[in-house]
């Protein structure tokens, strides 16, 4: 390891020495990265079209597997290409991987039809929390998009910022499946660009963005299924940028916006409580939390004409249906003979305290907090998109993307025996065996993000130029423990976990 005796390393010079550089080597690697992106775009398009032609759900699992393979190739090739060459390929490739899926009909989920319905209801001047889609009062609004809506008997569960997004899409003419998916994909691409800004501002390698941009979970969740969670990702990454710049109230407001799309990001308040210097200050921490909650509640005030029904089906049936109140959701905990409704709050408090005490960057703390919650609940795959983005923003290892993919595999093992039957040629596994398989997958996922090999598997190069992280501040030192190069700026106490 080169000596670091207080002299700052020339990061620009290091950036232009891609690993393995030998004259023609970097050019070949750049071409290989372009080929990988091209193959990925063609693969997503091919599997997407086959899925539309009735080849069965297995096509989409093949899409996920091939996407994971491309992610592996991308994370291996990207650090070997100069920043100014790698970033355009990564970002344009990510855009095309999503764009080719946008014109296709939604697959793997019908949630998008509820989004469009809620937007249409609001555009007609009706509070979406008051009536269920099958309510006779809304019969005149029914159209071709009404039929695929799931849970027509239930009022909406989506929080107010999501509802405002649905309304806005309707008002600007994006009230079709293609229009909505285009909007969601645009939000996701904005989050990718913002991730590059965050990484550069923090003095970290912007090429790390490939770990999110090429991950198949967000590509399929947003480009194919059109989930609204893309706006959660965008708000969370924007909150990270404001946190880095010391704007605690602004970060709190954006956390409130993210929670207004899906409620679970409210947990980020704990992760963002400490400032960039890792010093605990009660004023900013409380102000940030109050702002986040205030933004969320202010959104609900807009729909208060629904009275006590303003939370819709969320509190009157959805939590029961998904097993959160009956402990059925906590299958892995129950397999150990424990009640998830008891264990989860205990674990949440323990992890929350650990996060509050941690000196890691806020987005890294957020990734660990969300990761712990998701291990207990094993949620839908699109919930993990903010986790992947925040892990990348915090400079955490690329293994978090694989953690999310493995967690999705555990979800399939627990809740989708039909998929397992397809993958095993028709063999049905008993619930205990599925729980054991899911538990093993989750342990593998945890090992992936804890393994020293995983964190060092890709030796990232420094960016070409690292502007000051804030006015009068020096660029943030590189964190070698998370897979960064041995040529590093000497650290300080504040940079240690």
Check pLDDT > 50 for residue 479. no
Check pLDDT > 90 for residue 40. yes
Total Cβ atoms within 10 A of residue 124: 11
Check pLDDT > 80 for residue 272. yes
Alpha-carbon distance of 463 to 325, in angstroms, equals: 47
Specify the pLDDT at position 61. Answer: 81
405, two tokens: 């993919």
Out of 127-141, 267-281, 401-415, which region has the weakest mean confidence (pLDDT)?
Answer: 401-415
Q: What is the mean pLDDT of residues 181-208?
A: 94
76 occurs within a structural domain: yes
Specify the pLDDT at position 434. Answer: 61
Alpha-carbon distance of 473 to 492, in angstroms, equals: 13
Specify the pLDDT at position 119. Answer: 96
Specify the pLDDT at position 350. Answer: 83
Check pLDDT > 90 for residue 254. yes
Q: What range defines the domain where residue 474 resides?
A: 11-107+179-495
Q: Which of 286-290, 338-342, 347-351, 460-464 has the highest mean pLDDT?
A: 286-290
131 occurs within a structural domain: no
The string of pLDDT tens digits covering residues 135-184 is 999 999 998 889 999 989 989 999 999 999 999 999 999 999 999 999 99
The string of pLDDT tens digits covering residues 105-144 is 998 889 999 999 999 999 999 999 999 999 999 999 998 8
Burial state string for 442-481 with b = 16 or more CB within 10 A and e = fewer than 16: beebbebbeeeebbeebebbbbbebeebeeeeebbbbbbe
pLDDT band at 56 (very low <50, low <70, confident <90, very high): low
Specify the pLDDT at position 22. Answer: 37
The string of pLDDT tens digits covering residues 80-98 is 899 989 999 999 999 999 9
352 occurs within a structural domain: yes
171 occurs within a structural domain: no
pLDDT band at 188 (very low <50, low <70, confident <90, very high): very high
Backbone angles phi, psi at 357, to 5 degrees: -85, -15
Check pLDDT > 80 for residue 235. yes
Q: Which of 187-191, 273-277, 339-343 has the highest mean pLDDT?
A: 187-191
Q: Look up the pTM and report it.
A: 0.83
207, two tokens: 């090429």
Burial of 374 (0-12, 13-18, 19+ CB in 10 A): buried
Specify the pLDDT at position 129. Answer: 93
35 occurs within a structural domain: yes
Specify the pLDDT at position 39. Answer: 95
Specify the pLDDT at position 474. Answer: 38
126 occurs within a structural domain: no
Q: What is the mean pLDDT of residues 481-492?
A: 34
Check pLDDT > 60 for residue 469. no
Check pLDDT > 50 for residue 482. no
The string of pLDDT tens digits covering residues 422-467 is 555 555 656 666 666 666 777 777 776 666 544 544 333 344 443 4
317 occurs within a structural domain: yes
320, two tokens: 């029961």
Alpha-carbon distance of 331 to 249, in angstroms, equals: 38
Burial of 66 (0-12, 13-18, 19+ CB in 10 A): middle
Number of domains in the chain: 1
Check pLDDT > 70 for residue 213. yes
The string of pLDDT tens digits covering residues 285-310 is 899 999 999 999 999 999 998 888 88
3-state secondary structure the chain: CCCCCCCCCCHHHHHCCCCCCCCCHHHHHHHHHHHHHHHHHHHHHHHHHHHHCCCCCHHHHHHHHHHHHHHHHHHHHHHHCCHHHHHHHHHHHHHHHHHCCCCCCCCCCCHHHHHHHHHHHHHCCCCCCCCCCCCHHHHHHCCCCCCCCCCCCCCCCCCHHHHHHHHHHHHCCCCCHHHHHHHHHHHHHHHHHHHHHHHHHCCCCHHHHHHHHCCHHHHHHHHHCCCCCHHHHHHHHHHHHHHHCCCHHHHHHHHHHHHHHCCHHHHHHHHCCCCCCCCCCHHHHHHHHHHHHHHHHHHHHCCHHHHHHHHHHHCCCHHHHCCCCCCCCCHHHHHCCCCHHHHHHHHHHHHHHHHHHCCCCHHHHHHHHHHHHHHHHCCCHHHHHHHHHHHHHCCCCCHHHHHHHHHHHHHHHHHCHHHHHHHCCCCCCCHHHHHHHHHHHHHHHHHHHHCHHHHHCCCCCCCCCCCCCCCCCCCCCCCHHHCCCCCCCCCCHHHCC
Specify the pLDDT at position 419. Answer: 56
More confident residue, 257 or 143: 257
Q: What is the mean pLDDT of the chain?
A: 80
Of the chain, the percentage scoring pLDDT greater than 90 comes to: 46
pLDDT band at 486 (very low <50, low <70, confident <90, very high): very low
More confident residue, 259 or 486: 259
Specify the pLDDT at position 20. Answer: 43
Specify the pLDDT at position 358. Answer: 80
* CA dihedral over 337, 341, 344, 345, signed as positive or negative: negative
Specify the pLDDT at position 315. Answer: 72
306 occurs within a structural domain: yes
């Amino acid at each position: 390891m080169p000596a670091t005796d207080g002299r700052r390393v020339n990061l620009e010079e290091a950036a232009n020495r891609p690993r393995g550089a030998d004259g023609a080597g970097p050019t070949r690697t750049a071409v290989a990265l372009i080929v990988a992106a091209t193959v990925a775009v063609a693969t997503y398009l091919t599997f997407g079209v086959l899925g539309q032609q009735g080849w069965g759900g297995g096509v989409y699992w093949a899409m996920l597997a091939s996407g994971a393979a491309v992610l592996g190739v991308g994370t291996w090739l990207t650090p070997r290409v100069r920043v100014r060459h790698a970033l355009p390929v990564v970002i344009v490739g990510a855009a095309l991987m999503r764009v080719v899926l946008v014109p296709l009909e939604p697959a793997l989920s019908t949630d998008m039809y509820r989004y469009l319905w809620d937007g249409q209801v609001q555009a007609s001047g009706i509070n979406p929390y008051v009536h269920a889609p099958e309510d006779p009062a809304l019969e005149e609004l029914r159209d071709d998009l009404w039929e695929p809506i799931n849970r027509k008997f239930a009022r909406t569960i989506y929080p107010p910022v999501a509802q405002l997004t649905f309304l806005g899409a309707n008002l600007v003419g994006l009230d079709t499946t293609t229009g909505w998916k285009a909007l969601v994909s645009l939000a996701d691409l904005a989050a990718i660009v913002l991730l590059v800004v965050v990484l550069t501002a923090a003095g970290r390698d912007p090429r790390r963005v490939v770990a999110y941009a090429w991950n198949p979970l967000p590509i399929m969740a947003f480009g194919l299924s059109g989930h609204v969670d893309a706006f959660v990702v965008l708000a969370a990454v924007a909150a990270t940028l404001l946190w880095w710049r010391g704007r605690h109230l602004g970060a709190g407001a954006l956390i409130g916006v993210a929670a207004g799309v899906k409620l679970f990001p409210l947990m980020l308040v704990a992760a963002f409580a400490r400032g960039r210097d890792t010093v605990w200050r009660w004023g900013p921490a409380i102000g940030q939390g109050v702002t986040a909650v205030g933004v969320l509640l202010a959104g609900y005030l807009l729909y208060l004409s629904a009275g006590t029904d303003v939370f819709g089906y969320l509190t009157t049936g959805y939590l029961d249906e998904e097993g959160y109140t009956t402990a059925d959701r906590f299958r892995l905990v129950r397999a150990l003979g424990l009640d998830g409704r008891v264990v989860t709050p205990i674990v949440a408090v323990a992890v929350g305290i650990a996060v509050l005490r941690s000196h890691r960057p806020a987005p890294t703390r957020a990734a660990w907090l969300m990761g712990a919650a998701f291990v207990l609940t094993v949620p839908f795959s699109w919930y993990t998109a903010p986790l992947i983005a925040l892990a990348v923003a915090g400079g955490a290892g690329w293994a978090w993307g694989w953690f999310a993919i493995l967690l999705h595999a555990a979800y399939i093992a627990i809740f989708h025996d039909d998929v397992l039957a397809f993958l095993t040629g028709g063999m049905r596994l008993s619930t205990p065996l599925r729980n054991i398989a899911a538990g093993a997958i989750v342990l593998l996922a945890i090992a992936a993000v804890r393994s020293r090999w995983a964190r060092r598997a890709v030796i990232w190069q420094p960016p070409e130029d690292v502007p000051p992280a804030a006015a009068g501040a020096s660029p943030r030192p590189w964190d070698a423990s998370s897979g960064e190069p041995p040529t590093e700026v000497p650290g300080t106490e504040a940079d240690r976990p």
